[in-house]
Structure 1
Amino acid sequence: MTLREVGVHGTVAAGYEHVREEFAAVAAEDDDPGAQLAAYHDGRQVVDLWAGDGLTGDSLLALYSSAKGAVYLVVALLVQDGVIDLDRPVAAYWPEFAAEGKADITVRALLSHQSGLIGVDGGFSTSELADDRILARRLAGQRPYWPPGTGYGYHAFVIGALVGEVVRRVAAVSVQELYEHRIRRPYGLDFYFGLPERLESRYVPVRPLPPARLEAAAANAPAPDSLTGIAFNLNASPPTDLVEFANTRSVRALGPASSGGFGNARGLAGMYAAAISGRRGRDPLLEPGILAEFTTAHVSGLDLVTGEPDHFLLGFEAQCVRYPFLGPDAFGHSGAVGAQTFADPRSRVTYSYTRRRFAFGGGGGAPENHRLATAVMNAATRQ
């Protein structure tokens, strides 16, 4: 197919033409294309592409766990400010957290998914999942699902509420408010915690997998009482439907910190560019020492929830595990639809790929991210 036939729009900088070709090829292979791709190099946007009927570069999509990256940036700023000490117990900031044997869990252990507090017995309702204050109250009284510090596992639906409650206790405002005032507004980012009513017209609802793939996914679903099932709230009655979750206005309005990210590829790639390179004439968000702290591996071995090896740095996902062509300190976060976003400090590249429909077999970022990220990195190294 030609670019015109697959409906690829947007621009790339000189030297990034092959990125456009790869993006067009990915769109041509999708029976329902709808995606965005953005990249920055040294703080300058070099890729801004989109494809799919009814989708533009300005469209706002449900990006789920991509929100976690914004949470960790806020925490990194508070550590940088000296407001949070990574090695103090969480309970020193949030006394109620000490219940059920959790008194010694440090902020560092919590951020690196070692607390064992991946959910609650019986699961959460949709209204509870949408409200971080309710999540925090229920989690404070929950026993961990493994002895803290003996292993690690992805706290899929709850890490934002847990870390967010620490932020609330030390800063007297929510992590969402701090993100808005210290990151989103100053750096002009089109990525939101809680989608304002005035922006609803730009929201493109997430689409489910086709029926045949839905059946295949259901056949391979984890047991509700497994660690994976608990972490993804499959132990609730009914279990969480991710498509319905994001397409519910109350969820978009509240913007839960673990799963309520709404925006576009431009916004996410710009956020990570702000972190390592700066934007709009502003300095980088993170000082070199703090950046090094948060991009150092804190756990090793297999993730007890996802089975992924060496999954995390400090909060952020370790991107070199998925994409070996990146530096060892590359950091970022994926989102349930197959979205992927990262910053590679070694090359000064930031990347974001977003989708409006769930991928199949993505495992923390749709498979096409390998092709697209390779094309972006190859172009950047030739500059």
Structure 2
Amino acid sequence: MSHRPVHSPSRRMAMGVGMGLVLSTCLPRRAPARTMDMTAVDDRLRHAVSSHETPGVVCAIGHAGRIVHKAVHGQRAISPAPEPMTWDTVFDMASLTKALITAPCIMQLWEKRQIGLDTPVSTYLPEFAAQGKQDITVRHLLTHYSGLPPDLDLTERWQGRAQAYSRTMNTRPDQPAGQKFVYSDINYLTLGFMVEKLTGQSLAAYATGHILRPMGLSHSCFLPDASLRSRIAPTQVDENGKMLRGIVHDPTTRRMGGVAGHAGLFSNADDMCRYAQALLDCRAGRHGTLFPLRRDTVLLMTTPQQPAGKNDLRGLGWDIDTHYSSARGERFPVGSFGHTGFTGTSLWIDPQSDSYVLILTNRVHPDGHGNVISLRRDVATAAAIALDAG
């Protein structure tokens, strides 16, 4: 569904596990440019609303340790009644849950030597070996090179976490592990089950205690309380015709009760900017970072870790250069990284320029017809030009 990005001539092809990109790993914080004209960014955001790509949008651009541009356009809700978009709107982050929550939870366990990246998943979840999955490793799941299909079968009637677990354990691969990049929610469903098995806690409880609270992300949560409903951007109507608001949009996660390794996080712009800055600070080796992982772990997560000889570049949780990378735009280099969410959320981070671009929308509201693929690309390109990051 994404457009293939324009590549820099310096693109490193077919990086193998652990090779990484040639990067400066301890970047000084640059002083912001004296003049950063974000007119093109705002013009594109307004056009996205007026052309019905999305009902509304919140955008933040960070650079050199601070937010250098904030933008709010359009409406938070159209149906059943119009509401203006606001900076503090809470969004269903969808698949950003994978990179923001599940991957760092797994890497915390790796830091504690409770798991190995190249150890078969069945070592920790013995049932996972069924249907020929005995060779799939933790790294295969994190990089989407497991060979598993994109999602559980939703044409069958099933409900509950136990059913999701059983169906995940009994999923048959479409191809051998390590052969091809196929983006799959089942990969992160499995990683979420691993976190729960090894910690003895629900994924929501573990993530809250080890990611959200330590980072001070007070506006981020799973299963939002009803008191937050008025600030949450609605998505679509469910199978019963009820508008989803504060209830996860992803149907697999919804069948599981609202929490899964691939979706379920709700958050807002303040928290996502805080997260992105903490990640940049940790990666650059700056003191005082709030990020709950070691610097060497973050470097591992944000450099190519896919099987050797493969051209779709994935970190451990983060996208680097695949057909999903349109959110990088045409100017940020390969070596930057990010992720997107189906509901219309995205975050792209460029360590080289010490910058990030956050776009939060509920583009699926109210009827699922919105599309922000080109918006992400265009805003990232315009931001990089304004930051002189290309």
Tell me if TM exceeds 0.5.
yes
Q: Which residue of 2 aligns with 1:97?
A: 128
Q: Which residue of 2 aligns with 1:8?
A: none
Q: Which residue of 1 aligns with 2:258?
A: 254
Contact 2:48 2:375 in 1 (8 A): no
| TM-score of the pair, normalised by structure 2 | 0.72
Pairs within 5 Å for 1:40-79 = 40-53=62-75, 54-70=84-100, 71-79=102-110
- Structure 1 position 300, deviation (Å): 7.5
Contact 2:345 2:360 in 1 (8 A): yes
Contact 1:161 1:258 in 2 (8 A): yes
Query: What amino acid is aligned across from residue 351 of structure 1 in structure 2?
Result: V
Residue 298 of structure 2 corresponds to residue 291 of structure 1: yes
Q: 1:177 to 1:371 in 2, by over 3 A?
A: same
Q: Which residue of 1 aligns with 2:16?
A: none
Pairs within 5 Å for 1:264-279 = 264-277=268-281
Residue 326 of structure 2 corresponds to residue 313 of structure 1: no
| TM-score of the pair, normalised by structure 1 | 0.73
Question: What's the C-alpha RMSD, in Å, of the aligned pairs?
Answer: 3.5
In structure 2, distance between residues paired with 1:22 and 1:121: 38
Report how many aligned residue pairs link the two structures.
328
Query: What amino acid is aligned across from residue 115 of structure 1 in structure 2?
Result: S
Contact 2:148 2:171 in 1 (8 A): yes
In structure 2, distance between residues paired with 1:83 and 1:197: 36
Q: Which residue of 2 aligns with 1:36?
A: 58
Contact 1:339 1:366 in 2 (8 A): no
- Structure 1 position 247, deviation (Å): 4.4
In structure 2, distance between residues paired with 1:36 and 1:184: 21
1:353 to 349, 359, 372: 359
In structure 2, distance between residues paired with 1:139 and 1:201: 35
Q: Which residue of 1 aligns with 2:118?
A: 87
Q: Which residue of 1 aligns with 2:382?
A: 375
In structure 1, distance between residues paired with 2:215 and 2:59: 19
Q: Which residue of 2 aligns with 1:344?
A: 350
Query: What amino acid is aligned across from residue 92 of structure 2 in structure 1?
Result: A
Q: 1:86 to 1:162 in 2, by over 3 A?
A: same
- Structure 1 position 91, deviation (Å): 0.8
Query: What amino acid is aligned across from residue 357 of structure 2 in structure 1?
Result: Y
Query: What amino acid is aligned across from residue 310 of structure 1 in structure 2?
Result: D
Query: What amino acid is aligned across from residue 154 of structure 1 in structure 2?
Result: Y
Q: Which residue of 2 aligns with 1:6?
A: none
Which structure: greater helix fraction? 1
- Structure 1 position 57, deviation (Å): 0.7
Contact 1:317 1:333 in 2 (8 A): yes
Cα deviation 1:48-89 (Å, max 9, x = unaligned): 221113210111122311211122122223223333211111
- Structure 1 position 14, deviation (Å): 8.0
Match of 1:277, SS state, is: helix
1:151 to 155, 170, 180: 180
In structure 1, distance between residues paired with 2:130 and 2:270: 42
Residue 123 of structure 2 corresponds to residue 116 of structure 1: no
Query: What amino acid is aligned across from residue 272 of structure 2 in structure 1?
Result: L
Q: 1:381 to 1:14 in 2, by over 3 A?
A: closer
Residue 229 of structure 2 corresponds to residue 185 of structure 1: no
Q: 1:203 to 1:123 in 2, by over 3 A?
A: same
Q: 1:312 to 1:181 in 2, by over 3 A?
A: same
Identity of aligned residues (%): 26
Match of 2:38, SS state, is: helix
Match of 1:354, SS state, is: strand
Match of 1:186, SS state, is: coil
- Structure 1 position 95, deviation (Å): 0.9
Query: What amino acid is aligned across from residue 153 of structure 1 in structure 2?
Result: V
Q: Which residue of 1 aligns with 2:21?
A: none
Contact 2:140 2:306 in 1 (8 A): no
Match of 2:171, SS state, is: coil
Residue 199 of structure 2 corresponds to residue 197 of structure 1: no
- Structure 1 position 102, deviation (Å): 1.2
Q: 1:185 to 1:162 in 2, by over 3 A?
A: same
Match of 1:367, SS state, is: helix
Q: 1:282 to 1:108 in 2, by over 3 A?
A: same
- Structure 1 position 139, deviation (Å): 0.9
Contact 1:114 1:151 in 2 (8 A): yes
Query: What amino acid is aligned across from residue 325 of structure 1 in structure 2?
Result: R
Match of 1:58, SS state, is: coil
Query: What amino acid is aligned across from residue 263 of structure 1 in structure 2?
Result: S
- Structure 1 position 377, deviation (Å): 2.8
Match of 2:62, SS state, is: strand
- Structure 1 position 206, deviation (Å): 1.9
- Structure 1 position 126, deviation (Å): 8.4
Contact 2:94 2:342 in 1 (8 A): yes
2:192 to 161, 164, 178: 164
Contact 1:193 1:256 in 2 (8 A): no
Q: 1:62 to 1:284 in 2, by over 3 A?
A: closer
Cα deviation 1:139-165 (Å, max 9, x = unaligned): 10222122222223010x333321111
- Structure 1 position 15, deviation (Å): 5.0
Q: Which deviates further from its counterpart, 349-358 or 320-329? A: 320-329
Query: What amino acid is aligned across from residue 361 of structure 2 in structure 1?
Result: R
Cα deviation 1:300-347 (Å, max 9, x = unaligned): 8999xxxxx725322211158533532433222101133221222222
In structure 1, distance between residues paired with 2:288 and 2:158: 40
Which ranges in structure 2 are unaligned for 5 or more consecutive residues? 1-31, 76-83, 249-253
Cα deviation 1:148-188 (Å, max 9, x = unaligned): 22223010x33332111111122222332232122222223
Contact 1:100 1:142 in 2 (8 A): yes
Contact 2:223 2:246 in 1 (8 A): no
